[in-house]
Structure 1
């Protein structure tokens, strides 16, 4: 039986992968967090991988605190870049496959059209820079690796924009949300299903792919939809990014073109609002 190792198993995507693992009895799923496989300790990565001996590695673990990343640069580079290089080197030596998760933050946000996999990268914050370095390190060591860039991830698990909005809408009469950052959200469960479709596919196509739910919205549009679906009695106001200064700059436009992954793997990607309704009505709202 093949072993699938999931790094960052406690995160949103890792949790969604664990939730669907029982649908794939042909695999043994092994989830690890920073205790079992500390990505900030390069010496322990090879030791951990030698012990587990996975056939497939879903590299979902990362340092994702975008603002805090600006003040912990060495640690962030170790986790998002050097650790990925170590995983890739181990995979080469042990004939393992790697599917690595990256981000829209590798782009500078100046595009006016959806970004495909050949678009020029130019990160504007340290998190994005280290994620780009991780991509490059993986493909240098393991050209047969797969990278999926995604964006605006949310889930019933962990901390995310949707859960934050639900809390704020419950606590406040009105909130303000930026309306000049454009992209599309990604329901982590949809991405988890795509990852497994790729793994069980007869076609392992190496290289970079983009994945998010279909549509084009701002964070304000996203918040308004959360408010409408949840029925919260809270006013949602759109404001510019200038009114919410952050330590790390955010790309203004990072909508991903998903044509390549759709065509390569025959995917029908859900609309962002359909997936949002699913996670709100079936999961998050029933607990409130």
Structure 2
């Protein structure tokens, strides 16, 4: 029976891999690495750096495959349909890779940024592959240090306050307003910088981009003061690298 490890590899720092993750790496024969094109080629490079940091050369094989393109339709049913189509295309690709590149008694692995449970499609795609019934395998999941945990650590702050909830959401949802009854909100996948709508409110922001990598950028402070700096740094970084991954915590002060 083929076996697959889904390994959370943290936000980018090879030192953030857990001992469990390293053991899983050392028990893997084939690593499947998505190729997202030249713009994000350094993401594949970071994965290779992690393998070199923890594994001896010649003990494993890396299989790269071009990731399907996703329709970037924004909002509502169009967005949900685009994601569903992309996952189905990915499942078809992974089905072929597992069947063709992984021996019947070998172990493969997918390296997932942060933690596989948080805004990642790997588990859903593997389940779709299994449901098709053309290739059989077992899989397990190794948790990783998420960008949310890395963000809080780098800013030396907690995510929640005493007896208060914290919510993790997307930029698309934040644009609709703060969640009801929540004053501490972690935001991911925000390509439109929805935090700007709160520049006139009593809100602090803790922002980080490329967390855990040599390109890491951190900004914190009252959003009215921090927002212009974040916008400038974000635009400069995106122009320089061609892509950006950022996460932030918004903390609204109690209202009388």
Instruction: Give the TM bin, normalised by the shorter chain.
Output: 0.3 to 0.5
TM-score w.r.t. structure 1 length?
0.33
If you compute each CA radius of gyration, which structure gives the higher value, 1 or 2? 2
TM-score w.r.t. structure 2 length?
0.36
Structure number with greater CO (CA < 8 Å, separation at least 6) is: 2
